[in-house]
Chains A and B, each alone.
Chain A
Amino acid sequence: MTAKVVTITSGKGGVGKTTAVANIAVALASRGQKVVCIDGDIGLRNLDVVMGLENRIVYDLVDVVEGRCRLRQAMIHDKRLPELYLIPAAQTRDKSAVSPSDMVRLCDELRPDCDWIVIDSPAGIERGFRNAIAPADKVLVMTNPEVSAVRDADRVVGLLDAEEKGPASLIINRINPAMVKRGDMLSVEDVLDLLAIELIGIVPEDENVLVASNRGTPLALDGKSRAGLAFQNIARRLLGETVPFLDFEAPNLLQRLFTGRK
């Protein structure tokens, strides 16, 4: 095994990165993959809460980096799936406790015995972001269909190119088909038109997401909801399957995806 490291990042905060990491990790693990998630949001950890593993934290990422425990000891096994693990962030430290090279070293140690490492990046373009992207083989940029979020995503896409971490792939979260139809929300097309990167997922606005996060049971565990299905599809695309996009997108989207932009 040699794991692929996938980092989910955004620019703007609150667009749904943590939700996506939890769900994509669950979806990959439910397909028989061995998955380790890392919460890179030091000081504001919450991947553990969304995954329902908060009460099992003993050691965290900073403990590993500073040598207070072995890597294995900080990996919390999510018992709902055979091979899903979480390395939580430290809550009481700040981002400077970890460096980009620490992250690279840690992932290199994990790589030989898992299939996927999925990293939750904090919002913004500072230290925490650079920590999260340093070990990445693939970066997924997440945005909401909203002008300011797309603007920040564009900035991040540019920085990723500059850091030679591109080309990034795009997840558009919280699409509301009715609002798009009324012309009150940017469409998938509008967002792609500006960012001009590969689309890997479209997740609809879905109130089940909030309910699931509060309960600590990621939606993709059962996959009946629309958002859960969308996250399952992202996992399948990461695994190399060709999966058609769900049907709440602009009619000529597929054509556009196949023909490219220029």
Chain B
Amino acid sequence: MSATSALIQIKGLRDGLLVTLGDAPWAELQDLLIRHIDEQPAFFQGARLVLDVGTHALRVAELSSLRDLLSERGLALWAVLSESPLTEQTAQNLGLATRLSKPRPAEPPPAELPPENMALWVRQTIRSGMRIEFPGPVVVFGDVNPGGEVIAGGSVIVWGRLRGVVHAGAAGDEQAVVCALELAPTQLRIAGEIAVSPQKKSDSGPEVACLKEGRLVAEPWQ
């Protein structure tokens, strides 16, 4: 199953359609895609779409309006693949997948590690259902709520309460640490080690978790 034009390529996947968008202004691509769908409603009816948008940097308004246009035509936007961190973030915020299959934790993130001092700055609370992934360190200025996830190649600093899931050193860096003003994660991982946090008092103050002789330990952060 495949249909092709210069700017839009469509390929059948096992459980949906992969639409790859080429290089043109976003509004034009969106129009083209919608026209394409309206011309062959039977082909598209009920399909799950994976959209590969390449380097287009998309904001919430753009992605959600396309999603609504698709949903008005009975198509579900299921995942958005992109090389743009902004687009990935937007897609994650809208609850869309940003890769085709769940990554296995043992697998290193595909991107090259950025220089040590390039961190992702997240100025919002990571709520249930949100997932932040970054090949380097991540700083969250807000809470990580239960059901929220941060997966970082480097260390993770939470300037707030950490109650969700954090995986630091996801590519195997055993020097990575996790600090939080309140460290009470649902689950904490550094490199290959996993700790499930025991029921603890919430007044233990800021803490830092790291690997010592292969075991995950938490100590006061000072």
* Inter-subunit contact B145/A194 (CB<8 Å): yes
Q: Among residues 125 to 158 in chain A, which have CB atoms less than 8 Å away from a CB atom of chain B?
A: 125, 127, 130, 134, 151-152, 154-155, 157-158
Selected contact of B68 from candidates A100, A157, A162, A164, CB within 8 Å: A100
CB-nearest residue of chain A to B160: A262
A101-B72 contact, Cβ under 8 Å, with A154-B128, A163-B94, A194-B145: yes
Q: Does B64 contact A (CB under 8 A)?
A: yes
Q: Does B222 contact A (CB under 8 A)?
A: no
Min CB distance, A62 to chain B, in Å? 14
Q: Which residues of B contact A152 (CB under 8 A)?
A: 128
Q: Which residues of A contact B128 (CB under 8 A)?
A: 151-152, 154-155, 158
* Inter-subunit contact B94/A99 (CB<8 Å): no
* Inter-subunit contact A163/B60 (CB<8 Å): yes
* Inter-subunit contact A158/B61 (CB<8 Å): no
Q: Does B143 contact A (CB under 8 A)?
A: yes
Q: Among residues 115 to 129 in chain A, which have CB atoms less than 8 Å away from a CB atom of chain B?
A: 125, 127
0 or 1 for each of A69-100: is its CB under 8 Å from B? (1 = yes): 00000000000000000000000000010011
CB-nearest residue of chain A to B159: A262
A155-B68 contact, Cβ under 8 Å, with A125-B95, A163-B94: no
Bound: A209/B128 CA distance, A: 30
Q: Among residues 29 to 47 in chain A, which have CB atoms less than 8 Å away from a CB atom of chain B?
A: none
Bound: A154/B129 CA distance, A: 8
Bound: A163/B59 CA distance, A: 10
* Inter-subunit contact A164/B61 (CB<8 Å): yes
The number of residues on chain B lying at the interface, defined by a beta carbon within 8 Å of a beta carbon of chain A, is: 22
Q: Does B12 contact A (CB under 8 A)?
A: no
Q: Which residues of B contact A194 (CB under 8 A)?
A: 145-146, 163
* Inter-subunit contact A154/B147 (CB<8 Å): yes
The number of residues on chain A lying at the interface, defined by a beta carbon within 8 Å of a beta carbon of chain B, is: 21
Q: Does B124 contact A (CB under 8 A)?
A: yes
* Inter-subunit contact A159/B94 (CB<8 Å): yes
Selected contact of A162 from candidates B60, B143, B145, B146, CB within 8 Å: B60
Q: Does A196 contact B (CB under 8 A)?
A: yes
Bound: A164/B143 CA distance, A: 20
A159-B95 contact, Cβ under 8 Å, with A100-B68, A151-B146, A164-B60: yes
Bound: A133/B106 CA distance, A: 39
0 or 1 for each of B180-213: is its CB under 8 Å from A? (1 = yes): 0000000000000000000000000000000000
* Inter-subunit contact B95/A157 (CB<8 Å): no
B residues sitting closer than 8 Å to A (CB atoms) are: 60-61, 64, 68, 71-72, 74, 90, 93-95, 124-125, 127-130, 143, 145-147, 163
Beyond A159-B95, A194-B146, 13 additional contacts (C-beta under 8 Å) are A99-B71, A101-B72, A130-B68, A151-B128, A151-B147, A155-B128, A159-B94, A159-B129, A161-B124, A161-B127, A162-B93, A162-B94, A194-B145
25 A-B pairs, CB-CB below 8 angstroms? A96-B74, A99-B71, A100-B71, A127-B71, A151-B128, A151-B147, A154-B129, A155-B95, A155-B128, A155-B147, A157-B127, A158-B93, A158-B128, A158-B130, A159-B129, A162-B60, A162-B90, A162-B95, A163-B60, A163-B64, A194-B145, A194-B146, A194-B163, A196-B125, A196-B143
